Amino acid sequence: MSPGIASFRGLAERPFREVDEPYFFGRESYIAQLVEAVQKKPFSAIIGPSGSGKSSVVFAGLVPQLSRSGNWVAASFRPGSQPFRALASALIPLLESNMSETDRLVEINKLAQLLRNGELALTEVMERIAHKHAGAHLLLVADQNYTPCVPRKRNAGTSWISCCQSANTSPIGVC
């Protein structure tokens, strides 16, 4: 290990990312279980206490492992207070890679509104991404996904939870 590189970052530092894979170790069997789970099931959830390394195991373990297989494309986002916009921000680059920043912002807002209003299903977007990427599987990571469920008005569109549940029925994605 190189001097100045910690194998444990602690809660104060950022989690391990894909570039940190060489320094991330000790979770090999768990990573193998995750790889098997996402290859078999369209929806997999990693649940654990804060600071337990969920993000690190996904980004420094699962993502590099799947990337090496060559048949996966990954997108990640943090839902936060605007989950549909965050989701759209992660998906638009996979749909349209050659856009100006202004066009990208416009398309992100359009996609977020279509998903939120239920006019477009997440599974449709995931299928289009798979098609554009030669049938690759989509690993869609909603990191820090503890967006509160708030009662909504009737006919106000698709809830965030419903959007994620729709991905559960798709054979090509993981939310």
Would you list the DSSP string of 32-90?
A: HHHHHHHHH-S-------TTSSHHHHIIIIIHHHHHHHTSEEEEEE--TT-HHHHHHHH
Q: How far apart are CA 147 and CA 82, in angstroms?
A: 9
**156 has pLDDT over 50:** no
Cβ–Cβ < 8 Å for 23, 7: yes
Mean pLDDT on 81-109: 94
Is the pLDDT score of 108 beyond 60? yes
Q: pLDDT band at 151, cuts 50/70/90?
A: very low
Residue 4 lies in a domain: no
Residue 87 lies inside a defined structural domain of this protein: yes
Asked whether residue 167 is assigned to any structural domain, the reply reads yes
Lookup result for tokens 């078999």 = 40
pLDDT at 71: 87
Summarize the chain as % helix, strand, coil (round to 5): 45, 10, 45
Residue 104 has pLDDT above 90, yes or no: yes
Evaluate whether residue 9 is within a structural domain: no
Which residue, among 137, 122, 139, has the nearest Cα to 58 in the 3D structure?
Answer: 139
What is the tally of helices (H) and strands (E) in the chain? 7, 3
Is 102:110 a contact under the CB 8 Å cutoff?
no
Region of 86 please: left (phi>0), alpha (psi -120 to 50) or beta.
alpha
Judge whether 45 lies within some domain.
yes
Contacts of 166 (CB under 8 A, 6+ apart): 121, 122, 123
Please give the average per-residue pLDDT across 36-44, as a whole number: 83
Domain with 139, as residue range(s), is 18-145+155-174
Residue 6 lies in a domain: no
Q: pTM for the complete prediction?
A: 0.76
Count of domains observed in the chain: 1
- Average pLDDT estimate for 53-76: 89
Q: Is residue 175 scored above 50 in pLDDT?
A: no
Residue 171 pLDDT exceeds 60: no
Is residue 13 in some structural domain?
Answer: no
Asked if residue 10 belongs to a domain, the reply is no
pLDDT band at 91 (very low <50, low <70, confident <90, very high): very high
**Whether residue 119 has pLDDT greater than 70:** yes
